Amino acid sequence: MKTITLRLPDHLVKELPEDESSIFDVLKLGLKQLKIEKAIEKYKKGGMSLAKVAELAGISIREMMPVAYAHGLEPKYDRSLDKSKISPERAVTL
């Protein structure tokens, strides 16, 4: 394990838990949230499916869907596919 030193504003230091394992949990949670936020921004720009940005964020698409909705986004959906049969090869590209 690597040791790092951080300079934080006093108001953040006061909010941190005192034990090392809890600080580690806070850091992991923050990094996970940062990855999710970056993935949502990529989805907003277009060119990536919700499944792909979920993969980039390190979460399942089931976890990503409510996050996307919370950001006012809805999965892109092609109505022409409603009654068509989709091959596995085509499904991968959706």
Spatial contact of 6 and 27, defined as CB atoms under 8 Å apart? no
**Residue carrying the six token digits 């394992």:** 21
- According to the model, what pLDDT value does residue 7 have? 93
pLDDT < 50 stretches in the chain = none
pTM of the model: 0.69
- According to the model, what pLDDT value does residue 84 have? 64
- According to the model, what pLDDT value does residue 29 have? 95
Spatial contact of 69 and 59, defined as CB atoms under 8 Å apart? no
Spatial contact of 64 and 38, defined as CB atoms under 8 Å apart? no
- Ordered by start, the domain boundaries in the chain are 10-93
Determine how many CB atoms are found less than 10 A away from the CB of residue 35.
15
Q: Is 43 exposed, middle or buried (0-12, 13-18, 19+ CB in 10 A)?
A: buried
- According to the model, what pLDDT value does residue 73 have? 87
- According to the model, what pLDDT value does residue 70 have? 92
- According to the model, what pLDDT value does residue 59 have? 94
SS3 of residue 48 by DSSP:
coil
Dihedral-angle region of residue 46 (phi above 0 means left; psi in -120 to 50 means alpha; beta otherwise): left
